[in-house]
């Protein structure tokens, strides 16, 4: 069901994960270190902004991009998060809503991995309700003065540019996008410490204390929440594929283990009915999830995809990955908690993916509104 080009992209990233990611990722996660040394290799494969056709980028279709995220998350959710942020949450809004000068400056540098970006929407007190944000930008001559804070920001403390969403004027003003650069006075990005999930990923706060942002750093092409929400739709699409990569990793690990682990008259545990029932569930749900993601990608390429379609895929496929990780952990027994196997790392990672980019429950409400026509949010979201 995949084209030759799509398979080639998948296989390229699959080999990269096997050869460069898997040998180091357990140690990175244990140490709480993001593998920066992989950035040049990913840039050389055009993994950043791969669906963009300008600036020398390959202009891949959305199925190929989905396969990229699937294979990356088979390695680690944090690595896929890095590419998702760079592509969907930084390069996408700059390319879609930015000025020519902004695009010329940032897209090539981000594509080459020479600059790193992050996306600032979630705040310490506002996640599922982004419209409640308290970060505000006020006009001061030709510039803007930015105050507020963002939380749970992937790449925050290593980013050269942050795409920050803030209300303009006051808390009742419209939302605009600002390109906040490393080194601007009053801008800091302290890391979130003591994470038990996504340990091979950088997660930070963004703090703005009277940060002066030039007018040239405002995204001119969008106003309102549709700006950041359109970026989230792009990112959630990639996650709907990526989560299946995590499921593939835990399924494969558990299957290999069950075939080789012998108990009771020297029989492999894979021969037991209760274990086989787990594998039947896992392979069925992964296959269904891949068909859902593939259909979504084909619709996206035709311009037919809607946000509620993405909610369905993100909600379902991350749940599938979560269930597969739990079942794999059961199959491995005590070995399911050690770093010799990838299962517990994926189990911990998917807990974050289950929450970020729209929680499972929020996507449930999105689908509920789509099929009934009645919003159940209290108060209803715009």
Residue 172's pLDDT is what?
A: 94
Tell me the three state secondary structure of residue 183: coil
CATH number for the domain running over 4-111: 1.10.540.10
* Arithmetic mean of pLDDT, 234-251: 98
Residue 54's pLDDT is what?
A: 96
* Arithmetic mean of pLDDT, 30-39: 98
User: Residue 20: pLDDT above 60?
Assistant: yes
Alpha helix segments (H runs only) across the chain: 4-16, 22-31, 39-44, 62-75, 77-84, 92-97, 100-111, 226-260, 273-301, 307-332, 343-355, 360-372
Q: How far apart are the first and last CA of the chain?
A: 38
The angle subtended at Cα 52 by Cα 6 and Cα 46, nearest 5°, is 60
Residue 265's pLDDT is what?
A: 84
Superfamily for domain range 226-372:
Butyryl-CoA Dehydrogenase, subunit A, domain 3 (1.20.140.10)
Query: pLDDT digit string (tens) for 135-193?
Result: 999 999 999 999 999 999 999 999 999 999 999 999 999 999 999 999 999 999 999 99
Task: Please state whether beta strands 161-168 and 136-140 pair in parallel, antiparallel, or not at all (unpaired).
Answer: parallel
Residue 213's pLDDT is what?
A: 98
Report which of residues 129 and 246 the model is more confident about: 246
CATH number for the domain running over 117-217: 2.40.110.10
C-alpha–C-alpha distance, residues 42 and 39, integer Å: 5
Alpha helix segments (H runs only) across 155-225: none
Locate CATH 2.40.110.10 in the chain: 117-217
Share above pLDDT 90 across residues of the chain, in percent, rounded to a whole number: 95
User: Residue 382: pLDDT above 80?
Assistant: no
Task: Please state whether beta strands 143-154 and 136-140 pair in parallel, antiparallel, or not at all (unpaired).
Answer: antiparallel
- Give the torsion sign (CA, 73, 76, 81, 86): negative
Instruction: Find out whether 50 and 60 touch, Cβ atoms under 8 Å.
Output: yes
Query: pLDDT digit string (tens) for 188-239?
Result: 999 999 999 999 999 999 999 999 999 999 999 999 999 999 999 999 999 9
Tell me the three state secondary structure of residue 196: coil
Tell me the three state secondary structure of residue 92: helix
Locate CATH 1.10.540.10 in the chain: 4-111
Report which of residues 304 and 131 the model is more confident about: 304
Query: pLDDT digit string (tens) for 45-69?
Result: 999 999 999 999 999 999 999 999 9
Of the pLDDT bands very low, low, confident and very high (cuts 50, 70, 90), residue 263 is confident
Query: pLDDT digit string (tens) for 68-86?
Result: 999 999 999 999 999 999 9
pTM value surpassing 0.85: yes
Active site residues per annotation? 357
C-alpha–C-alpha distance, residues 121 and 131, integer Å: 10
């Amino acid at each position: 069901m995949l084209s030759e080009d799509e398979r080639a992209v998948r296989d390229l990233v699959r080999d990269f994960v096997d050869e460069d990611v898997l040998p180091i990722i357990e140690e990175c996660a244990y140490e709480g270190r993001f593998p920066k040394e992989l950035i040049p290799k990913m840039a050389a494969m055009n993994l950043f902004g791969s669906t963009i056709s300008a600036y020398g980028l390959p202009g891949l279709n959305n199925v190929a991009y989905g396969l990229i995220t699937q294979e990356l998350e088979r390695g680690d959710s944090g690595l896929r998060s890095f590419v998702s942020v760079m592509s969907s949450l930084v390069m996408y809004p700059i390319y879609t809503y930015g000025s020519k000068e902004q695009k010329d400056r940032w897209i090539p540098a981000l594509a080459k991995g020479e600059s790193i970006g992050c996306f600032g929407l979630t705040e310490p007190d506002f996640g599922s309700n982004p419209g409640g944000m308290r970060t505000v930008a006020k006009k001061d001559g030709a510039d803007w003065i930015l105050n507020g804070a963002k939380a749970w920001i992937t790449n925050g403390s290593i980013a050269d540019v942050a795409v920050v969403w803030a209300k303009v004027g006051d808390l009742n003003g419209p939302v605009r996008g600002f390109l906040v650069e490393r080194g601007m006075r009053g801008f800091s990005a302290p890391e979130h410490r003591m994470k038990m999930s996504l340990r091979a990923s950088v997660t930070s706060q963004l703090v703005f204390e009277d940060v002066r942002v030039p007018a040239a750093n405002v995204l001119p092409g969008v106003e309102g929440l549709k700006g950041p929400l359109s970026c989230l739709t792009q990112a959630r699409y990639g996650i709907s594929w990526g989560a299946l990569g995590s499921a593939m990793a835990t399924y494969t690990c558990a299957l290999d283990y069950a075939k080789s682990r012998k108990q009771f008259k020297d029989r492999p545990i894979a021969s037991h009915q209760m274990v086989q029932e787990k594998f039947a569930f896992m392979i069925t749900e992964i296959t269904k999830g891949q068909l859902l993601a593939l259909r979504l990608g084909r619709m996206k390429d035709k311009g037919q995809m809607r946000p509620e379609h993405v909610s369905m895929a993100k909600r379902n496929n991350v749940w599938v990955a979560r269930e597969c990780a739990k079942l794999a952990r059961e199959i491995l027994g005590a070995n399911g908690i050690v770093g010799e196997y990838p299962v517990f790392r994926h189990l911990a990672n998917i807990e974050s993916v289950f929450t970020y980019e729209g929680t499972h429950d929020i996507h449930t409400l999105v689908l509920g509104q789509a099929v009934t026509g009645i919003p159940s949010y209290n108060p209803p979201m715009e």
